[in-house]
Amino acid sequence: MFAIGNVVILIISSKFKITDICMCVSTFQARYCEDIPIVIKQNPDFQLALSVAGQGVEPEIIFSSAVLQFGPVLPYSSGATQEVTVSNPTDNPLEIYSLEFDTQYREEEEVRNSSNLYM
């Protein structure tokens, strides 16, 4: 349904301060209403539930063409190009990128591949 990250609460002299909250990530569009139990390791008798509610929004993008078909391309020719328009009808920001042109990703992959830790 959805995932929620860790919530860290720091208690200082009978006041509390929320130091870190990770955002809820919805996997589909729906209304959510949940009770999150609050657990204090040093006081197992303490019981509290935090009621949260929200609306999940499914990302949506629209392509001007559903299928792109390229004809044959000869070696050493100028190649073939086609134009595609991608639209975002929602207010949510979306990021589209190509790993082929992402130099930071390529550098990180080189480091990962040269390290014995990730093999």
Quick: pLDDT tens for 75-108: 999 889 999 999 998 887 878 888 888 888 888 8
Stronger pLDDT, 56 or 2, i.e. the higher one: 56
Quote the pTM value. Answer: 0.42
Query: Residue 26's pLDDT is what?
Result: 57
- Return the structure tokens found at 31: 């209304």
Q: Is residue 33 classed as helix, strand or coil in its secondary structure?
A: strand
